[in-house]
Amino acid sequence: MTAIEPRSADGRATADATLVSDSGSSGSRKPFGAVVRDYVALTKPRIIELLLVTTFPVMFLADRGVPSVWLILATLVGGSFSAGSANSLNCYLDRDIDRLMHRTEGRPLATGAISPRAGLIFGVVLGVISVLWLGLLVNWLSAALSFGAIVLYVGFYTLLLKRRTSQNIVWGGIAGCMPTLIGWSAVTNSLSWSAVVLFLVVFFWTPPHYWPLSMRFRDDYANAGVPMLPVVAEDIAVAKQIVAYTWVTVLVTLALVPVGDMGLIYTVISLVAGAVFLREAHLLLRRARAGASYKVLKPMRLFHYSISYLTLVFVGVAIDPLVHLVF
């Protein structure tokens, strides 16, 4: 297999002489447990957890009850392999800029704990396993969607958008929406408008989730030459876009009520969680208009709540059909 060349922040190929040796070739072998931890870290497990939050509940809604335990496990394992593949390949391609950013400088490929060649092979193998796993144990529609998610994240976001446009995470975020479709198709072997609405919930949620994080690590991205919106725009402009996307997110979340025939549980959760989400977004805009410093701006407050919001909404997605069964 021909290795993809590492790129500089402006997209040009660079030499990677410092990270060309395979893991353990420095003369002393690392303990097996440490090697396993390095490869697990390469898959970005915290991101995988968030992706599974949008897969698991959708299966309950698609089934209008409780899917088989085997189907749930097979789908979640296959989805984890798929996300792990995409994240590993992302780390491979971004290892040059990861070394320039404080937030990512400890990643295994950035530190040399894993060699570029080993990281690339690991990511590709995980991707192949994920497609075969889902195709053979779930269905081939889910496998195709899984493959599409990998291609979108690695090819569309990492290679094409990330270093070229401030709207990178808007369109690149499509890959992060795919677990909703995978969860639905795993149960029904088809897609529906409910699945599309849930896809759009995650799509519009991504900017108000990620841009506050980018505000926090603005200097990191600037140092690496990555044009995240907070790097190229003033805080007020960023906060205005965050507010706009938050409103659309909440409205699309509520659109699932008529489209998916959702009940009181989901509706109440979406309204309450959405109201808090909107409040936090508007508070960020207010602080930005006041010219607040980073410590006063508190973008991470919105970042952390955005995770809670998405989790609560999808908990509602899972619980609502179960309540319908009982009552």
Q: Which of 2-11, 65-74, 215-224, 252-261 has the lowest mean pLDDT?
A: 2-11
Structure tokens at 127: 């991707």
pLDDT digits (tens, 9 = 90+) for 31-50: 888 999 999 999 999 999 98
The percentage of the chain sitting over the pLDDT mark of 90, rounded to a whole number, equals: 83
In sequence order, which residues have a C-beta less than 8 Å from that of residue 141 and are 6 or more positions away? 185, 189, 190, 191
Confidence (pLDDT) at 7: 46
Confidence (pLDDT) at 186: 98
Matching residue, tokens 């979640």: 76
User: Binning pLDDT at 50, 70 and 90, where does residue 325 land?
Assistant: confident
Does residue 22 surpass a pLDDT of 90? no
Confidence (pLDDT) at 28: 64
Confidence (pLDDT) at 134: 98
Largest CA distance in the chain: 65
For the chain, the structural domain boundaries read 33-190, 192-327
Nearest Cα to 214, choosing from 273, 152, 297?
A: 297
User: Binning pLDDT at 50, 70 and 90, where does residue 29 land?
Assistant: confident
The dihedral region occupied by 64, where left means phi > 0, alpha psi between -120 and 50, and beta the remainder, is left
- Measured CA to CA in angstroms, residue 131 lies from 52, 149, 181 at distances of 17, 11, 15
From the number of C-beta atoms within 10 Å of its C-beta (0-12, 13-18, 19+), residue 269 rates as: buried
Multiple choice CATH, 33-190, 3.40.50.970, 3.40.50.150, 1.10.357.140, 1.10.8.60: 1.10.357.140
- The answer to whether the beta carbons of residues 242 and 212 sit under 8 Å apart is yes
The percentage of the chain sitting over the pLDDT mark of 70, rounded to a whole number, equals: 91
Neighbouring-strand partners of residue 7: 13
Integer-rounded Cα radius of gyration of the chain: 20
Helix ranges (H only) for the chain are 32-42, 45-53, 56-63, 69-93, 95-98, 108-111, 116-137, 140-151, 168-172, 174-188, 193-216, 218-224, 229-232, 235-259, 264-289, 294-297, 299-326
Question: How many whole angstroms separate alpha carbon 255 and alpha carbon 167?
Answer: 25
pLDDT digits (tens, 9 = 90+) for 176-185: 999 999 999 9
Question: How many whole angstroms separate alpha carbon 189 and alpha carbon 130?
Answer: 17
Nearest Cα to 114, choosing from 125, 122, 102, 126?
A: 122
Domain 192-327 has CATH 1.20.120: yes
- Measured CA to CA in angstroms, residue 18 lies from 9, 25, 30, 113, 114 at distances of 17, 13, 19, 12, 12
Average pLDDT, the chain: 91
From the number of C-beta atoms within 10 Å of its C-beta (0-12, 13-18, 19+), residue 259 rates as: middle
User: Binning pLDDT at 50, 70 and 90, where does residue 24 land?
Assistant: very low
pLDDT digits (tens, 9 = 90+) for 184-227: 999 999 999 999 999 999 999 999 999 999 999 999 999 999 99
Report DSSP state, residue 155: I
Coil, helix or strand for 183?
A: helix
Buried b (16+ CB within 10 A) or exposed e, 93-116: bbbbbbbbbeebeebbbbebbbbb
Does residue 10 surpass a pLDDT of 90? no
pLDDT digits (tens, 9 = 90+) for 68-114: 999 999 999 999 999 999 999 999 999 999 999 999 999 999 999 99
Does residue 5 surpass a pLDDT of 80? no
Buried b (16+ CB within 10 A) or exposed e, 209-231: bbbbbbbbbbebbbebebbbbbb
Question: How many whole angstroms separate alpha carbon 323 and alpha carbon 65?
Answer: 9
Question: How many whole angstroms separate alpha carbon 180 and alpha carbon 54?
Answer: 6
Question: How many whole angstroms separate alpha carbon 167 and alpha carbon 174?
Answer: 12
The pTM for the full model equals 0.89
Question: How many whole angstroms separate alpha carbon 24 and alpha carbon 294?
Answer: 41
pLDDT digits (tens, 9 = 90+) for 116-152: 999 999 999 999 999 999 999 999 999 999 999 999 9
Confidence (pLDDT) at 297: 86
